[in-house]
C-alpha cells in the first residue's frame, strides 16, 4: 500500500523511543533518515515539554509539536503555535495545593522554566520509566504570574473527573499512564498542533501521516488519513488507526513506513 505522504508526525515514548532501552532503535533512525532524504518533512509530536526531550540522539527532524500540541516550533526555533493554560485554572490548582489537604504532585511546565511541587513514589516511578531527571522542587505558589503550558498532574483516574471539573474547567486531560495525566488548555491536542504545522509548511492534511502508541495520540492518529498505531499501542489507539504496525522494539516504525511505500 502506498501513500501520498509529504509529512510524518512521530510520538516519542513507545513510538520512536523504547521503554525497555530508552533509546531509538537503529532501524528507526535509518528509516527516518531515509524518509527525510526523499524530501518528506519529519516532525516530533509529543506530550513532553522541550526540557524533557533529551532522548532523540542523532535523529534528524524539521520541527516539534510539544506539550501535546500546546507549543509547536521549527528546528530553527521559530514558534508556530503557542497556547498556555488559563491563568484562573493555574490559580485554582495553586490554591488547592497550598491548602495541603489531599494534595498531589504537579510538574508545572512554564514557558521560561519548570518545577515540581513534591516528589513521591509515583513521580519517581515515572522518572525511571521515561529516564528523565526531575526539575527542582518549588512551592506551587512559584507558578503564579507565569505562562504555564502544562500541568503534569499525579492523580489517578478515579480522581480525574473531580479534579478537572473543580480545578481546571478550562483545560483538558491527556492521560496515557494510570499514575499521571498531562493537563493542557482546552481546545488543544496533538491534532490541533498538527493543523498549525501543516498551515505553516503549506502541506494539506491529505498528505499527513502520524504514528503513536498512547492515549494522547488518539486525536492525531484519527485526524490524519495515514494514522498508524504501534504494536505496543493502547487498544483505543489501535481502534482508530488506519494501520497497526509492530512494536517499537520490533522495528515497528520502519515496517509502517515501508508498508506505505515511504522507504524501500
In the prediction, which pLDDT does 3 show?
Answer: 64
Q: Spell out the CATH class of 87-185.
A: alpha beta
- Residues 170 and 88 sit within 8 Å (Cβ to Cβ): yes
Summarised one tens digit per residue, pLDDT across range 79-95 is: 999 999 999 999 999 99
Q: Spell out the CATH class of 7-82+188-259.
A: alpha beta
In the prediction, which pLDDT does 2 show?
Answer: 55
pTM: 0.87
> In sequence order, what DSSP letters do the residues of the chain get, joined into one string?
-----SEEEE-TBTTTB-TTTSS--HHHHHHHHHHHHTT-EEEEE-SS-GGG----TT---SEEEEGGGTEEEETT--EEEE-PPPHHHHHHHHHHHHH-TT---EEEEESS-EEES---HHHHHHHHHHT-----B--GGGGTTS-EEEEEE---TTTHHHHHHHH-TTEEEEEEETTEEEEEETT--HHHHHHHHHHHHT--GGGEEEEE-SGGGHHHHHHSSEEEE-TT--HHHHHH-SEE---GGGTHHHHHHHHTTS--
The answer on pLDDT for 111 being more than 90 is no
Return residue ranges of the chain for CATH 3.30.1240.10.
87-185
The mean pLDDT value of the chain amounts to 95
The answer on pLDDT for 209 being more than 70 is yes
Summarised one tens digit per residue, pLDDT across range 14-37 is: 999 999 999 999 999 999 999 999
Return residue ranges of the chain for CATH 3.40.50.1000.
7-82+188-259
In the prediction, which pLDDT does 132 show?
Answer: 87
The answer on pLDDT for 1 being more than 70 is no
In the prediction, which pLDDT does 112 show?
Answer: 78
Amino acid at each position: 500500500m502506498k501513500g501520498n505522504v509529504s509529512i510524518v508526525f512521530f510520538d516519542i515514548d513507545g513510538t520512536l523511543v523504547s521503554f525497555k532501552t530508552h533509546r531509538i532503535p537503529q532501524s528507526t533512525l535509518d528509516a527516518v533518515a531515509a524518509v527525510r532524504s526523499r524530501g518528506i518533512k519529519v516532525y516530533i509530536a509529543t506530550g513532553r515539554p522541550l526540557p524533557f526531550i533529551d532522548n532523540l540522539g542523532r535523529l534528524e527532524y524539521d520541527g516539534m509539536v510539544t506539550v501535546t500540541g500546546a507549543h509547536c516550533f521549527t528546528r530553527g526555533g521559530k514558534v508556530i503555535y503557542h497556547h498556555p493554560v488559563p491563568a484562573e485554572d493555574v490559580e485554582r490548582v495553586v490554591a488547592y495545593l497550598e491548602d495541603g489537604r489531599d494534595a498531589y504532585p504537579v510538574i508545572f511546565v512554564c514557558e521560561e522554566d519548570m518545577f515540581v511541587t513534591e516528589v513521591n513514589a509515583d513521580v519517581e516511578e515515572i522518572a525511571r520509566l521515561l529516564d528523565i531527571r526531575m526539575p527542582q522542587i518549588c512551592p506551587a505558589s512559584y507558578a503564579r504570574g507565569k505562562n504555564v503550558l502544562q500541568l503534569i498532574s499525579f492523580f489517578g483516574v478515579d480522581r480525574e473527573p473531580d479534579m478537572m471539573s473543580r480545578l481546571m474547567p478550562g483545560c483538558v486531560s491527556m492521560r496515557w499512564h494510570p499514575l499521571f495525566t498531562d493537563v493542557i488548555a482546552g481546545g488543544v491536542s496533538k491534532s490541533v498542533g498538527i493543523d498549525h504545522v501543516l498551515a505553516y509548511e503549506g502541506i494539506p492534511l491529505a498528505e499527513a501521516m502520524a504514528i503513536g502508541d498512547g492515549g494522547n495520540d488518539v486525536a492525531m492518529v484519527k485526524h490524519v488519513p495515514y494514522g498508524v498505531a504501534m504494536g505496543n499501542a493502547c487498544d483505543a489507539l489501535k481502534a482508530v488507526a488506519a494501520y497497526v504496525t509492530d512494536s517499537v522494539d520490533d522495528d515497528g516504525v520502519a515496517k509502517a513506513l515501508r508498508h506505505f511505500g515511504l522507504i524501500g
